[in-house]
Chains A and B, each alone.
Chain A
Amino acid sequence: MSLPDGWELVVGLEVHTELLTASKLFCGCENRFGEEPNTHVCPVCLGLPGSLPVLNRQAVELAMRIGAALHCTIAPSTFHRKNYFYPDQSKDYQISQYDLPINSRGYLDLPDGSRIGIERAHLEEDTGKTTHLSSGGRLQGAERSLVDYNRCGVPLVEIVSAPDIRSSAQARAYASELRSVLIATGASDGRLEEGSIRFDANVSVRRAGEPFGTRCEIKNLNSLRSLQRAIDYEAQRQIDLIESGGVVRQETRHWDEGLGETSTLRVKEDAEDYRYFRDPDLVDLAPEPAWVDEVRHRLPPMPSERRSALGALLSSPTSAQLDAVEAVVELGIERFVHAVARENGDVVIALSRAANELASAVDEVDRLAEHSFVTVVDMEASGEVSATQAKALLAGLLAGEDSDPRSLARAKGFEKMDQSALSTLVEELIGAHPDEWSRYRGGDEKLAQFFIGQVMRRTKGQANGKTVIEELNARR
């Protein structure tokens, strides 16, 4: 969506990602989603009197990987307490980082070449989950409130962007690219639907050339789609308000996905005073420089580099091929295409098969050996099997029917058709369809598809379409 002439959108995103650690940030409880409520809890994450937090080394490692991937300064940092009363916060304070975050001042480059600044990416603990009964889901007036503390104390990294984003599409691209980066670092599973990554958007509008306008923070954005829709809605709301002589109030707003609207959650004047202070139960976090260097050194290639590397295999890629490159990198399955390139195979076919057949069964790709994929692509490129058969072979290999493409092809009866048998069949079909044949001879090229279809039906897809056309043209 584009804004009315003369208006500019300014967006900054706060992204929370849960870290893929074995245990919670300050205790040994398992970090797992979707278990029975209150089964992964202990005195520490329940905030029982006398319990003390001990920092999880793996969480620090993953946070530093995120910092390294986002080109941040990784520095000695401290933990603060953010004090507020809420039942999902077992200690009634959250341990977070405040004036000295572990990662600061980095950036993220987007596929379109734009660069978004990262102000900080700090460590903190997640809250539990509250369910308020018979009050429309709100705390006020709830007859009963249920709390599940399994998530309480799960490690999070909060990544705060600079207000560099200028459109909802760019916000979406940033969120999507950040998600890919988080997956690539191994810090996150990227599962938006499970709340592994959550977005808050700070949105303001201004007339071109003016200073930043008053911003509103939008919460409850659970998908890339709702992120983009909410920003569009909020930008238009603020413009309408200003154009009708109103003033934007600084406030926190809630996105309602069903209504497609934002509404006031709380205004700035009601904002809590969190009384931040250094957590006296924790000591300074000062990773040795050697550890930081090792993290930077061992960082796997990020999606942007991987896209470039994959794109470089194509001579003059079409936009569809570039989309395929992005999809394949996003899914982390480009190794199959690279394997084909190494064997001097057909990269275009390989990319297409990876972006379609492998992508549709991405959870099963570990069953597929790279050399098997190379073999299938070679079989298709050489005409040994048809495209349809190649797709069926990949599906079979991914389903675990066999691990060897050639033995699977034999089992499916996908031997290359004997040329004379095909010749005889084409003769037979010409005889049986004189009208279609004469129209084809008369120059109606569409009818080639008719004859190919007939051949495929009779051979159960065994024939190669290109060969059928050669046979037809020989008789034209």
Chain B
Amino acid sequence: MNARTTAQRVRRGEISAVSVLEDSLARIHAENPRLNAFLRLDEEGARAAAERVDALVAAGDDPGPLAGVPIALKDNLCQRGVVTTCASRILGEWRPPYTATVVERLAGAGALLVGKTNLDEFAMGSSTENSAYGPTLNPRDLSRVPGGSSGGSAAAVAADFTPVALGSDTGGSIRQPASFCGVVGLKPTYGLVSRFGLVAFASSLDQIGPFSTTVEDAALTLEVIGGHDPRDSTSLRVGAPQLVAHVDDGVAGRRVGLVRELFEGADAEVVAAVHTAAEVLRAAGADVVDLSIPELSLGLSAYYIIAPAEASSNLARFDGVRFGHRVSGEDVTAMMEATRTFGFGDEVKRRIMLGTYALSAGYYDAYYGQALKVRTLMIDAFARAYQHVDLLLGATAPTVAFPFGAKSHDPMTMYLNDVFTIPTNLVGHPAISVPFATGEGGLPVGVQLLGPGMSESVMLAGARILERDREGL
């Protein structure tokens, strides 16, 4: 049962939040040992929340728009007192003394926070194979990766553990696993959702967003978690977005750009899905035009300078001094070195080194400085495109979910997975992946809709059309 229906029935008293939760937990207990989507459950906390929701309903009060909806959190989101690992050894059994803004808002809307999901360590990866706590299996095909880095959250929704999960998207970490697992994944406009309490990977790119089984649930969740937060300086000064009311607005009269650089080089079945999606939008009244934005091909290389550069600084604080795991050493410097050597996995170390190098004296201009210029070029290129169209259409990922180990030996091949998702992060725009077709072995294929900053409402209406006509296919 999707989130919106669940919440409606709980609010009307037709079902109890406790029973919804117990159903969810039963499925998790049955399947999670195999899938490894959840790293940790907070059953006690979730039960207490469910009882509060039921008590409010019994008293005639409204527990909120997500009343009784079980929700999973990617394990890089802080929740007071609940172990947060970022799927890294370096945090040990760290329990944050505070709660992320998005988690507070979910709880305030009546959601039941059932636990923390697996990810690539510090959200660095595209397969969830980089977790210190073992990979998550794709519920659609257990021999394949769920994508990443928010693979645990995508799998939790795909396996029907929870109707909604939160992930974070720095270069595609929500949309690519959504595509691989056959669920909806939304990356909001940068600044629409507070990052307070999200353990940073690359601060200028990170954005929290929902996974769900329906477009409407993604809209509903974003309404709850979006809007200004004074604790995040990069938070936009906007109120909570109004999205659900517009989700069925359709695309009649909208102009959509079918962007060559956002599907070229993808597998044939993926390209075919994108073209079908274009036909669906056209049939619904949109004016779909072919577009080329050559600057998009620069995104990947700029991203792999900017994101590691910020990460090298963001991850400096994991030094064993104040929190997390500590490996002792001769003196403080030796302790820090030993802690980081033990605590970080290979991919994290690789990116810290890349980023450190890119920011170093003598290299800054050639690497980091240059990447910032590319970013500006891309912002301008998108702005030009959006003078002519309302939305852009492309693929989410070049392939369907790949088998375990297929790419983990070669970082460059793995990085290429993000080629279609990275541009929106670099320019701070929203994008959504909608499950649209099936490919090799019946595996899901997602297509991606992109819009300019704060165009979520229009973008979701387009996504709703793709979702509807996928059902009809």
Contacts and interface: CB of A to CB of B under 8 A. Distances in A.
Interface in B57-98: 76-78, 84, 86, 91, 94, 96-98
Contacts of B318: 49
Nearest to A49: B199
B386 interface: no
B317 A275 contact: no
A54 interface: yes
Contacts of A55: 233
B278 interface: no
Contact of A91 (B84, B199, B317, B368): B317
B316 A43 contact: no
A49 B86 contact: yes
B313 A85 contact: no
Interface in A37-84: 43, 46-55, 81, 83
A140 interface: yes
Contacts, number: 112
A277 B319 contact: no
B293 interface: no
A280 interface: yes
B331 A139 contact: yes
A276 B319 CA distance: 20
Contacts of B96: 43, 48-50
A47 B317 contact: yes
B331 A145 contact: yes
Interface in B173-197: 195-197
A53 B198 CA distance: 13
A281 B190 CA distance: 12
B292 interface: no
Contact of A87 (B91, B98, B200, B332): B332
Interface in B287-318: 309-310, 312-313, 316-318
A43 B364 CA distance: 31
Interface in A177-199: none
B203 to A, nearest CB: 4
Interface string A243-278: 000000000000000000000000000000101110
B321 A49 contact: no
B259 interface: no
A48 B234 CA distance: 18
B361 A273 contact: yes
B359 A277 contact: yes
A141 B329 CA distance: 10
B97 A92 contact: no
A141 B330 CA distance: 7
Given A277-B309, A280-B204, A280-B310, A50 B78 contact: yes
B331 A50 contact: no
A282 interface: yes
A282 B200 CA distance: 14
A135 B333 CA distance: 14
Interface in B338-370: 356, 359-361, 364, 368
B100 interface: yes
Contact of B331 (A43, A49, A85, A141): A141
Contact of A50 (B199, B330, B356, B360): B199
Contacts of B202: 280
B231 interface: yes
A283 interface: yes
B336 interface: yes
B230 interface: yes
B317 A90 contact: yes
Contact of A92 (B91, B203, B319): B319
B198 A50 contact: yes
Contact of B100 (A50, A53, A54): A50
Contact of B356 (A53, A275, A280): A275
Interface of A: 43, 46-55, 81, 83, 85, 87, 90-93, 135, 139-142, 145, 147, 273, 275-277, 280-283
Given A50-B200, A81-B313, A275-B312, 17 more contacts: A43-B96, A46-B322, A48-B322, A49-B199, A49-B200, A49-B317, A49-B318, A50-B98, A52-B232, A55-B233, A83-B312, A83-B316, A85-B336, A87-B321, A140-B333, A273-B360, A275-B361
14 contacts: A43-B96, A47-B322, A49-B86, A49-B199, A50-B76, A50-B98, A52-B233, A54-B230, A85-B333, A87-B336, A90-B321, A91-B317, A141-B330, A280-B202
